[in-house]
Amino acid sequence: MITFLIRRILWVIPVILLVSICTFMLMHAIPGGPFDAEKALPQAIIDNLNAKYHLDDPLWKQYLDYMWGFVRFDLGPSIAYRARSVNDILSDQWPVTALLGSVSFAIAIIGGVALGTISAFRQNTIIDYSSMFISMLGLSIPNMALGPLLLWIFALNLRWFPPATWGTPAHVVLPAITLGTAFMASFARITRASILQVIREDYIQTARAKGVRESLVLLKHCLRNALIPVVTIAGPSFAAIMTGSMIVERIFAIPGIGKYYVTSVGNRDYPVVMAMTLIFALAVVVMNLLVDVSYGFLDPRIRYN
Amino acid sequence: MKRALVLTFALTLVFGLMAVGQVKSLNWNLGTEPPSLDPNIATDTTSIQVIQALFLGLTDFDDNTMAVVPELATSWENSEDGLTWTFNLRDDVVWTRTGRKVTAHDVVYSVKRTLDPATGSSYAYVLWIIEGAQAFNNEEGGTAEGVGVRAVDDYTVEFTLIQPAGYFPSIAGLWVCRPLPRFIVDEYGDDWTKPENIATNGAYELGVWVHDSHLVLYKSPTFYNADNVNIDQVFCYMIEEASTAMLMYEAGALDSTAPPLEDMDRVKTDPVLSQELTMAPDLCTYYYGFNNEKEPFDDPLVRKAFASAIDRQSLIDFILKGGQSPAQTFTCPGIFGHVDGVAEGIGYPYDIEAAQGYLAEAGYPNGEGFPEVTLMHNTSEGHSKIAQFIAQSFMDTLNVTVNIVNQEWKVYLETCRTDCPQIYRMGWCADYPDANNWVNEVFHSASGSNYANYTSPDYDALVEQAARATDPAARLDLYRQAETLLCDVDAAIAPIYFYTIVNLTKPYVVRTFAPLGGEHWDQWDILPH
C-alpha cells in the first residue's frame, strides 16, 4: 500500500509538468496579448510593460521562471489587476468557492445517494419513477436557467432568501442548491443502478436468508459495495466543484475564483491562467488518488501491492 | 396619564434617535471589480467611477451642459499665444489620514508619473499635447524635467503646450492628471490603493474593498464641501450578470441598474418600472468601418452603396429598443465639433434606390459579380443581433453575399490591426468633450485606431488645423468639412447610431446623469422612503 501511494504521488509530477507545458504553449499561441486595447498604446509603453512582466524573455525562460515560482508557492503577479498578486486573489477568494463547493457537494452526495437508494429498494414503484424524474430534471435543467429561476421564486417573490451576493449562511442556500442538483442527479442514477446490481448478488440473498435485518442488509452489505461507482465519479466532481463554477458564481454574484478561469484567458493574464489550470489539475489528480485509495476500504477484494 | 406620558416620551426618543441616526446610503452596482483605483493607470469606466468620487480633478464637467467647470482649480487663464495655461488652485483641500494640504506639487507629480514610461499608463497619450510629454513617455530621449508642467507656487500650476489647444481645460480634469499623494505612493508602491494605505482628497473615502464582492465609500469629513454632500455612504456591489442586477433592483437591494435588453419590453409596459426608466444620450458612436484598402471596398462607390443600405431606424426600433439616435456622422451630439448629419444632409441615410444606384455605378449592377463580403465583429450577443440585421439588409438591398464572422475581443483587435476585414464593427466613446478626441485621434492617417486605413491628406490637414485653431466658429467649420470627407465624400465608415444610457433608478434617489467621467454621487440625495 505504501509503495502504491508513493508511486502515485510521484506520478503527479509528470502530469503537472505536461499540463503546465500544454497550457503555457496554448496561451502563447493564441493571438493578442495582455496590453492590447481599443485605444492602441504607444510602442514604448508596451515595451516597458512587457519588460516589467518579463514577457520579452524567451518563452522557455518565462516558463521556467513561472514553474520555479510555482514550486515555491509564488504564483506571480496578475497582469490585469495590477494591485493584486495571484496569491492574493486565491487567498481572498478560494475560501468562498471552497465553502460553496463543500455545501453543494454535501447536498449532492447525501441527496443523490439517498434518492438513488430509495429508488433502488422501491424499484418500479411510483417512488422510483418520481425520484428518477426529479433527478433527470436536475440533470437537464442547466445552472443558468435554474439559478435565476430559484432567485425569482425564493428571493424576489417569496423573500425567503437574500437576492444574490455573499456574506451570511442564508446567501449560501440558493447557489448551493443550484450547483448541487446537477451532480445530485448523476449520483442518484449511478447509485440506483449500482445498488440494483449489488442487490442481486448471492451474498445479499445469504444475508437475508440468515435473518439479517433489512436495514443492516442495506447499510452494511449493500451500500458499501454499491458505492464504488459513485466514488469513482464523486472524486473528479469534487475537484470540479471545489475549483469553482463560473456560471453559478456569476449568477449569484459570489466573489469566488470561478470567473478567473474564463476572464484570465480573455485578458491574456498568463500567470492567472497558469495558476488556475495547474490548481485544477492538481485537484483532479489528488482526488483521483483518494478515490483509488478508498476502493481498498470499500471492496476488500481490491488489494494494492 | 403618567404611563401615557412616559410611553410618548420613549417613542419620541426612539424615533428621534432613528431620524438622527439615519444614514443615507446609496446601493450602487459597479458591474465588475475595478482593475485599478490608481488614477494614472485606470482606463475603464468602472475604475474611473470610483476615482471620480475619491480624487478631485483640476476641472470637472457639468452634467447638463458638459461645460468645463472649476473643481480643484478655481480659475485658469491662457497666454496670448495659447501655449501656456495657468491654473489657480483652492487652498483648503486636504489629504485624508494626514491632513496635509493638496498642492500644485501633487499635480505636477501626478502628471509626470502618468508620463513616466515605467508606470505603463494607457491614457498618457492624451497628455502628449504638453511640451516634452511625448519625448518622455515614448522614450524618445525626453526626461521628466523636460515635461512642460511646473508648480509656480504651492497653489498655482503652469502647463506649457506644443500647440494651442482650446480644449486643454477639459484635459486638465481627466483622471490621469488628478493630484496624487506623493508620500503615500512613494511609501507603498503598487499597494498604495489598498484601503489601509490610500489617501484621497475627494468627497468620499475608501472604507472597505472586498475584491470581486463590494467596496464601500464613506463621506469624507475633511472634504471642503462636506456640508453639501448628502449621501453618507455608497455601497458598491460588483454584480456582473445584468439579469441578477435587475432582480436585485426589483427586490430593493439596488437603487439603480441598467435593465437588460430582454427586459426592455416588460419595463416599458410596467406601470411602476416605466416611471423609473430614463433613456438619455450617451457619448458614444457605434459604427461599421470599411477597410479602405481592401477590394472591393477600396472603391468609394461601393462604400457609399453599403452605407446607404443600413436601415438605422428599424434597427433602433426593433433590435436596440433603447431610444438611440441614427448617426450619419462620427462625432456624437454633445461633443464640441459634432455635426448633425441627418439634419444637414451629410452622410448616407437609408435609401434603397440610391444604394443600388451606387453599386451599379461601381460596376456591379444588381450585385452581379460582387465578391463575397466578410463582416466581422467581436463576440457578443448584442453585436451579433445587429450584425445579422444589417447583413440581411445588405443582402436584400444589394443582392450580395455577406458572411458574418465573430472573434474574441483581443483576437479581433489584432485582426483589425493587421488584416482588417472588409467590414468591421467598432465603437468610440468620448474621453473629453471635443471632436479632436474623435475625428483626429481615431481617423488621422497616423492613428493606431484607424483600422479603416483611411488616408486622406486633405482630411489630415483639416483635423490638424482644427486642433491648433482657437476660434470656436472656425474650428466648428473645419470639423464640418472633416466629417463631410470622412462620412460623405469618401464614405470611409458608415456610422450607425449614437448610444444611449438606459437606466432604472428608484424614485427616492435625486440624481443627475454624468455623460463623461463618473457619476457625481456627491451632488445626489436620497429622500426618506
Q: What is the tens place of the pLDDT at every residue in B356-409?
A: 999 999 999 999 999 999 999 999 989 999 999 999 999 999 999 999 999 988
pLDDT at B129 over 70: yes
pLDDT at B231 over 90: yes
Mean pLDDT of B168-192: 93
CA–CA dist B223, B199 (Å, integer): 12
- Give the range among A35-39, A49-53, A151-155 with minimum mean pLDDT: A35-39
Q: Which residues in chain A are closer than 8 Å to B451, comparing Cβ atoms?
A: none
ipTM of the predicted assembly exceeds 0.90: no
Cell numbers linked to B206: 475608501
Q: Which residues pair with B156 in a beta bridge?
A: B88, B153
> Nearest CB to B211: which of A33, A43, A255?
A255
pLDDT at A213 over 90: no
- Strands B423-429 and B373-378: what pairing? parallel
Mean pLDDT of B437-454: 92
pLDDT at B175 over 50: yes
Q: Which residues pair with B42 in a beta bridge?
A: none
pLDDT tens digit sequence for B470-526? 888 999 999 999 999 999 999 999 999 999 999 999 999 999 999 887 899 999 999
- Strands B402-407 and B373-378: what pairing? parallel
Rounded to the nearest integer, the mean pLDDT of chain A is: 89
| pLDDT recorded at residue B17 | 46
| pLDDT recorded at residue B101 | 95
Cell numbers linked to B211: 475584491
pLDDT at B182 over 90: yes
CA atoms within 13 A on the CB side of B436: 21
**Percent of chain B's residues with pLDDT above 90:** 79
Element counts in chain A: helices (H) and strands (E): 13, 0
Q: How confident is the model at residue A74 (pLDDT cuts 50, 70, 90)?
A: very high
Question: Do the beta carbons of residue B204 and residue B155 sit within 8 Å?
Answer: no
> Nearest CB to A255: which of B36, B43, B213?
B213
Mean pLDDT of A2-31: 91
- Buried/exposed A228-243: b ≥16 CB within 10 Å, e otherwise: bebbbebbebbbbbbb
What element of type H or E holds B412? Answer: helix B409-419
> Nearest CB to A82: which of B36, B253, B413?
B36
DSSP letter for each residue of B413-460: HHHHHHH--SEEEEEEE-SSSBGGGTHHHHHSTT-TT-TT----HHHH
* Angle of helix B381-398 versus helix B352-361 axis, rounded to 10: 70
CA–CA dist B16, B22 (Å, integer): 10
Q: How far is CA B464 from CA B285, B330, B473, in A?
A: 22, 17, 16
pLDDT at B13 over 60: no
pTM of the predicted model, to two decimals? 0.87
pLDDT at B167 over 90: no
Give the distance from residue B74's alpha carbon to the nearest chain A alpha carbon, in angstroms: 32
- Residues of A numbered 23-52 whose beta carbons fall under 8 angstroms of chain B's beta carbons: which are they? 30-33, 35-45, 47-49, 52
pLDDT tens digit sequence for A226-273? 888 999 999 888 888 877 688 999 999 999 998 898 889 988 999 999
Q: How confident is the model at residue B12 (pLDDT cuts 50, 70, 90)?
A: low
| pLDDT recorded at residue A203 | 86
Q: Which residues in chain A are closer than 8 Å to B122, comparing Cβ atoms?
A: 35, 37, 39, 41, 45
What element of type H or E holds A209? Answer: helix A202-210
CB distance B35–A259 less than 8 Å? no
Give the distance from residue A89's alpha carbon to the nearest chain B alpha carbon, in angstroms: 8
Mean pLDDT of B90-96: 94
CB distance B247–A37 less than 8 Å? no
Q: Other CB atoms closer than 10 Å to residue B361's CB: what's the count?
A: 14
- Give the range among B134-138, B159-163, B251-255 with minimum mean pLDDT: B134-138
| pLDDT recorded at residue B481 | 96
Rounded to the nearest integer, the mean pLDDT of chain B is: 92
CB distance B413–A37 less than 8 Å? yes
Cell numbers linked to B46: 468602472
Instruction: Count residue pairs from A and B with Cβ separation < 8 A.
Output: 135
Residue showing cell 454535501: A106
| pLDDT recorded at residue B2 | 60
**Percent of chain B's residues with pLDDT above 70:** 96
- Residues of A numbered 71-100 whose beta carbons fall under 8 angstroms of chain B's beta carbons: which are they? 80-84, 88-89, 92-93
CB distance A48–B191 less than 8 Å? no
| pLDDT recorded at residue B11 | 58
Question: Do the beta carbons of residue B166 and residue B85 sit within 8 Å?
Answer: no
| pLDDT recorded at residue A299 | 76
Residue B410 sits at the vertex; the CA angle it makes with B404 and B416, to the nearest 5 degrees, is: 55
Higher pLDDT, B46 or A139: B46
Mean pLDDT of B419-429: 95
Mean pLDDT of A173-199: 91
Higher pLDDT, A208 or B276: B276
Mean pLDDT of B64-89: 92
Mean pLDDT of B170-175: 92
| pLDDT recorded at residue B4 | 56
Q: How confident is the model at residue A220 (pLDDT cuts 50, 70, 90)?
A: confident
pLDDT at B16 over 60: no
Q: How confident is the model at residue B226 (pLDDT cuts 50, 70, 90)?
A: very high
* Angle of helix A270-298 versus helix A2-29 axis, rounded to 10: 150
CB distance A82–B41 less than 8 Å? yes
Give the distance from residue B88's alpha carbon to the nearest chain A alpha carbon, in angstroms: 32
CA atoms within 13 A on the CB side of B109: 15
Residue showing cell 433489512: A214
Which 3 state secondary structure label does DSSP give B394?
helix
pLDDT tens digit sequence for A97-138? 999 999 999 999 999 999 999 898 888 899 999 988 988 888
